[in-house]
């Protein structure tokens, strides 16, 4: 048992009321990790509460049934009041306070007790009492399982914990197809199935539940808004707020769309630009010898993994795309 894991186990043993904080715009790994950690702590006689910076997308809400959670965006005072009475803060699936958003960052900055970061993104900031960072691991959900295993607490992992871990691993690995997936990943998946996790139901709830508006939006995006850069293995889609409104956009409707771009034969870099009320949210994906995390961090206030990164622009859509095009050569190996 490493010193980090010893400290983690001691901290858990000494805790009673616990706050779990994932990143803003929580994806499957953030929600899955929060759900898994919630049930793990509950099984160890703790009193956990999840606070999401903003509301998860509709397709992830079924995984939060019968779970006590708050949304900071709509319940800031209640969230901050709760934090004042918690023994420990667990920051899951993010490596810098900025990832929870400008408002919810107060949950971290004002927290007086022990805090723990458990995350798999590279280049973590030093902002918690204890930091467990392993960028080589495919997902935070897998890292949580590994932490539990090393603490010799696998007896606390039941089907509820397992469902969260499976959700996190599945979504953050593109259904187990990214290079970050290793033998350990599949070993863990096997253990989860032994617990009774119904993997097919999790997959169906994420990938096989659509609205007509969502499918029409994706069809429009691919047919009308896909741009393939001449003489470059790079393609992108941009969607303005007006275009999103035309298809009654709901949070999560563009999830996975950037991977569709990347699936085009001969293309190794994909970008998705989506306009929101705050600015332009950007998703980058790549494969092979093409990496996007440093590019996103340098030009679009973002970061992430070599093959999957996010970014943001406060400029207009047209200015953002022109800046993207200006630096395209930096994406080439």
pLDDT bracket for residue 197 (50, 70, 90): very high
Give 271's contacts (C-beta < 8 A, 6+ positions apart): 234, 235, 236, 237, 258, 261, 282, 283, 284, 285, 324
CATH number of the domain residue 155 falls in:
3.90.1640.10
**End position of a domain, from candidates 207, 226, 242:** 207
Indicate whether 68 pLDDT > 90.
no
Indicate whether 184 pLDDT > 80.
yes
**End position of a domain, from candidates 207, 235, 250:** 207
Indicate whether 66 pLDDT > 90.
no
Any alpha helices (H) in the chain, and if so which ranges?
A: 3-14, 28-43, 76-84, 106-109, 140-150, 159-172, 183-194, 199-207, 212-224, 241-246, 257-262, 293-299, 317-326
Indicate whether 227 pLDDT > 90.
yes
Task: Give the whole-angstrom CA distance, residue 282 versus residue 301.
Answer: 10
Q: What is the DSSP letter of 56?
A: P
CATH number of the domain residue 290 falls in:
3.10.310.30
Q: Are the beta carbons of 292 and 269 closer than 8 angstroms?
A: yes
pLDDT in tens, 135-145: 999 999 999 99
Q: Are residues 232 and 255 in the same domain?
A: yes
Q: Are residues 179 and 229 in the same domain?
A: no
Q: Are residues 217 and 85 in the same domain?
A: no
pLDDT at res. 155: 96
Task: Give the whole-angstrom CA distance, residue 165 versus residue 145.
Answer: 7
118: closest CA among 44, 32, 16? 32
Q: What is the mean pLDDT of the chain?
A: 95
In this prediction, residues 320-325 reach a mean pLDDT of 96
In this prediction, residues 94-117 reach a mean pLDDT of 94
Task: Give the whole-angstrom CA distance, residue 3 versus residue 93.
Answer: 21
Q: Are residues 184 and 281 in the same domain?
A: no
pLDDT in tens, 249-295: 999 899 999 999 999 999 999 999 999 988 999 999 999 999 999 99
Q: Are the beta carbons of 19 and 83 closer than 8 angstroms?
A: yes
Q: Are residues 191 and 320 in the same domain?
A: no
Question: Residue with structure tokens 């139901």?
Answer: 201
**End position of a domain, from candidates 160, 181, 207:** 207
In this prediction, residues 163-172 reach a mean pLDDT of 97
Give the HSE-up count for residue 122: Cα atoms under 13 Å, Cβ half-sphere.
13
Q: Are residues 228 and 284 in the same domain?
A: yes
Which of the given ranges, 56-60, 147-151, 209-213, 301-305, has the highest pLDDT on average? 147-151
pLDDT at res. 294: 93
Helix H or strand E encompassing 69: strand 69-71
pLDDT at res. 281: 96
Indicate whether 321 pLDDT > 80.
yes
pLDDT at res. 233: 97
Token pair, residue 205, equals 């709830």
pLDDT at res. 209: 87
Structural domain count, the chain: 2
**Owning domain of residue 296:** 212-331
The pTM (predicted TM-score) of the whole model is 0.91
Indicate whether 1 pLDDT > 80.
no
pLDDT bracket for residue 303 (50, 70, 90): confident
Q: What is the DSSP letter of 287?
A: -
In this prediction, residues 3-14 reach a mean pLDDT of 95
Q: Are residues 20 and 141 in the same domain?
A: yes
């Amino acid at each position: 048992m490493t010193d980090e894991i010893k400290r983690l186990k001691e901290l858990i043993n000494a805790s009673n009321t616990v706050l779990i904080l994932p990143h803003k715009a929580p994806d499957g790994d953030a929600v899955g990790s929060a759900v898994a950690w919630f049930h793990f702590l509950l099984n160890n006689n703790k009193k956990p509460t999840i606070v999401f910076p903003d509301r998860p997308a509709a397709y992830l809400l079924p995984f939060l049934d019968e779970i006590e959670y708050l949304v900071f965006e709509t319940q800031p005072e209640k969230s901050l009041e709760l934090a004042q009475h918690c023994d420990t803060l667990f920051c899951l699936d993010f490596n810098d306070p900025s990832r929870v958003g400008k408002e919810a960052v107060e949950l971290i900055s004002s927290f007086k007790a022990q805090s723990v970061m458990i995350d798999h993104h590279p280049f973590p900031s030093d902002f918690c009492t204890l930091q467990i960072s392993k960028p080589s691991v495919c997902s935070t959900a897998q890292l949580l399982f590994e932490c539990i295993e090393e603490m010799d607490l696998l007896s606390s992992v039941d089907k509820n914990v397992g469902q969260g871990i499976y959700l996190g691993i599945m979504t953050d690995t593109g259904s187990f197809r990214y290079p970050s997936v290793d033998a350990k990943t599949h070993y863990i998946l096997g253990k989860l199935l032994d617990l009774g996790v119904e993997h097919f139901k999790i997959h169906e709830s994420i990938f096989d539940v659509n609205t007509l508006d969502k499918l029409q939006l994706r069809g429009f995006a691919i047919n009308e808004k896909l741009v393939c850069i001449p003489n470059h293995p790079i393609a992108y889609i941009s969607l303005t707020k007006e275009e999103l409104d035309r298809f009654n956009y709901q949070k999560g409707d563009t999830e996975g769309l950037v991977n569709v771009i990347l699936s085009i034969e001969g293309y190794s870099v994909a970008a998705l630009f989506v306009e929101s009320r705050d600015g332009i949210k950007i998703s980058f994906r790549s494969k092979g010898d093409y990496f996007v995390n440093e590019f996103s961090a340098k030009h679009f206030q973002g970061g992430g993994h070599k093959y999957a990164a996010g970014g943001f622009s406060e400029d207009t859509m047209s200015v953002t795309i022109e800046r993207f095009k200006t630096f395209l050569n930096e994406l080439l190996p």
